[in-house]
Amino acid sequence: MSEMSESGNYIVGRHPVIEAMSADSPLEKIFIVYGADDSQIHRIRALADRKHIPCSTVDKTKFSVLERTIGIERNAAQGVIALRTSRQAYTLNDLLEEALTASEAPLIVVLDGITDPHNLGAIARSAEAAGAFGLVMPQRYTAPITAVVIKSSAGAIEHLKIARVPRVSEALKECKRLGWTILGTGSPGTSPYTDEVEKGPIVLVIGDEGTGLHSSVRNVCNRVLEIPLQGKVASLNASVAAGIILFHLAQHRT
């Protein structure tokens, strides 16, 4: 594989690359721009050496070419880009089974129509911080996991298991059949998000801030949680709403 190959997944930014190594993500190589030499760079090189990941020093011109190839703004990578091997693909049932093995009351986040990569990254960051086990995403009509998503998540997405499904509504029906409680988010909802939280395994479904949950998805939910708004804006950003509800669930389920 060429060092400047367009194939594979790239992780950009110092903190996301450190998080990826901490999560034992399979990295093929780390590219560091020539001249970068500070405590974070020393930490990255030390971690890479410990995990037997080769580091390559790249001159500034070639590093800029790599940034353009990935599709990120110049200097957005903070002088560090990692090439990872293909992400492990989970089936829905494998993801649910592993989640139940890890916890008696696991939390899974399902994305319904999240097409903005920054929103996807921010939701993944909140989900991981709130203790979610993994993400379920549709195979189509969703933002792909790119370098922008990984950087927006501050590397948190590297700690989450991810399953792709053909149809979100059918995946939720399977979760429900297996005993998971399905909680949607949106307005109008069927109950405030502050209502008593269910015990046992929970699936939280996050819809697009513009269109909300698809009707076929909404119909599967046990409840649709609404965040009461006091101001003049009609809705919250999807990642902000997700963060509020995720940490409410985390607080009342520990």
Nearest CA-CA partner of 248 in 169, 209, 191? 191
Q: How far apart are the first and last CA of the chain?
A: 46
**Cα-to-chain-centroid distance, residue 45:** 25
Give CA separation, 224 vs 97, 166, 242, in Å. Answer: 25, 22, 13
Angle in degrees, CA 130, 131, 137, rounded to 5: 90
- pTM score, whole prediction: 0.77
Q: Looking at the domain covering 9-84, what would its CATH class be?
A: alpha beta
Provide CATH 3.30.1330.30 ranges for the chain. 9-84
Residue 160 has phi, psi (to 5 degrees) of -105, 140
Q: Please state, in angstroms and rounded to a whole number, the distance separating the CA atoms of residues 67 and 188.
A: 42
Domain 92-253 has CATH 1.20.120.140: no
Provide CATH 3.40.1280.10 ranges for the chain. 92-253
Q: What is the pLDDT along the chain (254 residues), one digit of tens a residue?
A: 233 333 348 889 999 899 889 888 888 899 999 999 999 999 999 999 999 999 999 999 999 998 888 888 888 889 999 998 777 778 999 999 999 999 999 999 999 989 898 999 999 999 999 999 999 999 888 888 887 888 888 888 888 999 999 999 999 999 999 999 999 998 888 999 999 888 899 999 999 877 789 999 999 999 999 998 887 776 788 999 999 999 999 988 76
